[in-house]
Amino acid sequence: MAITFKNTNKINIINLLLNLSMILSIVFGIFELKETFSFIKMVAIAYAILYEILMFITIYAGFRELNLPESMECLENGYVQQLGFILINSLLIDTSMVGLIVGSVIIASSTGISIYAVCTGIE
């Protein structure tokens, strides 16, 4: 038995909202980076931007019911998407105070969505 769940439109909309709120954290991280440069913060912001792009492509493909390229097929699994949100926001928490607040909310909601999906058996 594989632990996967295919994204429904409801999950895609929630992921889109999480993705858009992550932009706020990235922008304030960039402003903070301009004031005090840190290579670690720059790498965290670069990873977050790349993950944002991959997630926008995945969410768009989910809404249009298109197939993703082979290198991105793992992102069709909703649990992998939630794990990505948790990991990237763990990196963004350190960039700014807004990153701390937004990252904490995203981590809590991602964990809540994953627990909800496991308990209700979303297919």
Residue holding tokens 């304030």?
Answer: 28
pLDDT at 56: 93
pLDDT at 69 over 90: no
Residue 4 lies in a domain: no
Residue 3 lies in a domain: no
Range of the domain at 91: 9-120
Residue 1 lies in a domain: no
Average pLDDT over residues 83-103: 89
Residue 36 lies in a domain: yes
User: Rounded CA gap, 123 and 119, in Å?
Assistant: 12
In the chain, the number of structural domains is 1
Average pLDDT over residues 13-22: 87
Residue 68 lies in a domain: yes
Amino acid in position 102: V
pLDDT at 1: 41
Residue 2 lies in a domain: no
Average pLDDT over residues 105-119: 84
| pLDDT > 70 fraction of the chain, expressed in percent and rounded | 93
Residue 87 lies in a domain: yes
pLDDT at 122: 64
Instruction: Give the three-class secondary structure for 122.
Output: coil
Residue 98 lies in a domain: yes
Q: In the structure, what pLDDT confidence band is assigned to residue 48 with cuts at 50, 70 and 90? A: very high
Q: Which of the two residues, 121 and 11, has the higher pLDDT score?
A: 11
What value does the mean pLDDT of the chain take?
85
Q: 48: exposed, middle or buried (C-beta count within 10 Å: 0-12, 13-18, 19+)?
A: buried
